[in-house]
Structure 1
């Protein structure tokens, strides 16, 4: 059995939904299809929650109108006769429930309840459309099996037990539809896998059923060797190892959720990144297979804050770093990059909500300076440390405004910190120069 996930742009209209159905028909393998909400819908639902907080009635009605129009238009273009009436009735009932939740006094679970309705709406429409096309399918409610516990360490065994039991109840069916993004937390409360988490849903499900493969379908043909939004003539990468893909996703590759590959690594389930609008393009395969060593890709992560800590207490002393790490741990703030000298520590974080409190604590024992609006540029390849060509990359740094370098913590990653205003120029420069070193122009 395969798992196929389709993102919001892949199911953003009636025409793209029809394209997805054609892709499903290309293979006779049993499959679970994991769907995001239609493009733009989750943003509308987030806006609805924000309007509900301040009881902006006009804003809520405007958003409900947009939600209704978007889904009604898709239904009008997909369905005919009695089937259309039945689907409209079901979707209207969902929409009424959404509005009721928004109007009622908000509860701790109201946010998750509202923002996850986009997937519920779309999967109902999609399943009914398949039925109209004489394609038997079973619509699974992810709330009944995506009991992941903690998002950071999902309980795949629990998901497996619950999901397999449901699949076994339908031995005649080879096509299952379910929602991405939606889950239950360790307390059994409705929650989400965070924005973009449908990729993560797909690989959790893939691991849970020991899938042959997980396919993630988006609007781009695989993971590119640089960010095509800023760099011309990028090219898709045919093969990546799990570690390479994880590094690129964490450091900003938008086509893949950062936690996507984690559930499938130990089970050696390949992940394919494919383009819904060019379904026969090769895409990118992520697996344990090792192909070309050396440089593979460059990505960038924005919203980085650099913190420099200086204290003469560090000189010849031990335990100072431990004290600093404990401060960040108390404030639940992860560190991305770190370099040290005899009397100074430079580090970066991507979550600054507790920055003021962190700086206040550190200031008691050291001098602290903060620089915001930075980006981490990540250069990724297989075993870069052993690839002597990668050392030539350091010769290029004189032409870049680099504030920090991290090299050696991972065999697959060289990380550079630059001011965000210089990010695009740095990506373009490195793209040309690094791939020239390999003899391959991107």
Structure 2
């Protein structure tokens, strides 16, 4: 459903400029996009109507906040996208006859006063919520969004939904965490620029984090930390090519030698040479 996130980001920019009417107009535009999407997403009239009503209710519940500009936070606005998507997906699975449960991220995902995941709270919340879903195998929740230590709407700031998945895997002690993207895992070079780049079947957490930091944009480097803490393997798979093996990331470094090359743009190197301070390292004091 392209364009929804862009529309919400535009809304935040308008909110910062206190252009209240323009924010309301943009919200109406995004709402219409989601309602129109229900026409193609659902087959049965009953579920199509429920989907449209779901979208309308989410925006109706949110509309009073539009009068709070400029106190309306960007985090509040951006959260709508995840809430809309997961509610419609939950309804879509119901139409397909797949039993599922929707657990709101605001009820389980929290960061502490330092902006880091509150693992104890998350684990306790998930344990309680999952008990109420006994017998249901498909659990849906939102990525990226959460609450902070004051109970306010917040977000994880980095790593997006992949980071949420890794945190959740850590909290429940998962056997593995699967991340589905549109590429066959990590490659030994950037396939956008290098012909013949091939997927890497296995990486250690350290290798994967380094590749991510130095330019491999498939995942944010922070994504690996929650799984690395408990030794939970991370498996990268391709939604467009699900039979491909992908990349398995574990605590084990199985091979030596060069596995991949990554490049990072926009780096400036500064070389300082002082003739009056030979072999000295105190020039930063000057």
Q: Normalising by the residue count of structure 1, what TM-score does the alignment of the two structures yield?
A: 0.59
Shift in alpha-carbon separation, 1:188–1:99, aligned structure 2, 3 A: closer
Shift in alpha-carbon separation, 1:104–1:342, aligned structure 2, 3 A: same
Deviation of residue 151 (structure 1)? 6.8
Per the alignment, residue 263 of structure 1 pairs with 226
User: Equivalent of 1:114, from 43, 61, 77?
Assistant: 77
Unaligned runs of 5+ in 2: none
What are the residue-to-residue correspondences of 1:340-359 with 2, within 5 Å? 342-343=280-281
User: Equivalent of 1:105, from 57, 69, 73?
Assistant: 69
CA distance in structure 1 between the aligned counterparts of 2:159 and 2:22, rounded to whole angstroms: 25
User: Equivalent of 2:213, from 223, 247, 250?
Assistant: 250
Determine whether 1:176 maps to 2:139.
yes
Q: CA offsets per residue over residues 170-199 of structure 1, 9 Å max, x none?
A: 212111100000112233322111254211
CA distance in structure 1 between the aligned counterparts of 2:271 and 2:58, rounded to whole angstroms: 51
Shift in alpha-carbon separation, 1:66–1:278, aligned structure 2, 3 A: farther
Deviation of residue 212 (structure 1)? 1.2
Aligned residue-pair number = 285
Question: 1:228, 1:234 within 8 Å by CA — same for their partners in 2?
Answer: yes
Which 4+ runs in 1 deviate beyond 4 A? 97-100, 305-315
Per the alignment, residue 26 of structure 2 pairs with 63
Determine whether 1:288 maps to 2:226.
no
CA distance in structure 2 between the aligned counterparts of 1:231 and 1:176, rounded to whole angstroms: 39
Q: CA offsets per residue over residues 362-421 of structure 1, 9 Å max, x none?
A: 6xx43xxxxxxxxxxxxxxxxxxxxxxxxxxxxxxxxxxxxxxxxxxxxxxxxxxxxxxx
Per the alignment, residue 95 of structure 1 pairs with 59
Kindly report the root-mean-square deviation, in angstroms, between the aligned alpha carbons of the 2 structures: 2.5
Deviation of residue 51 (structure 1)? 1.0
Residue 187 of structure 2 aligns to a residue in which SS? Answer: coil
Shift in alpha-carbon separation, 1:57–1:148, aligned structure 2, 3 A: closer
Q: CA offsets per residue over residues 10-52 of structure 1, 9 Å max, x none?
A: xx4xxxxxxxxxxxxxxxxxxxxxxxxxx54333212111012
* Bigger strand fraction: 1
Unaligned runs of 5+ in 1: 1-11, 13-38, 316-340, 346-361, 367-442
Question: 2:170, 2:226 within 8 Å by CA — same for their partners in 1?
Answer: yes
Residue 265 of structure 2 aligns to a residue in which SS? Answer: strand
Per the alignment, residue 162 of structure 2 pairs with 199
Higher Rg of the two aligned structures: 1
CA distance in structure 2 between the aligned counterparts of 1:157 and 1:221, rounded to whole angstroms: 34
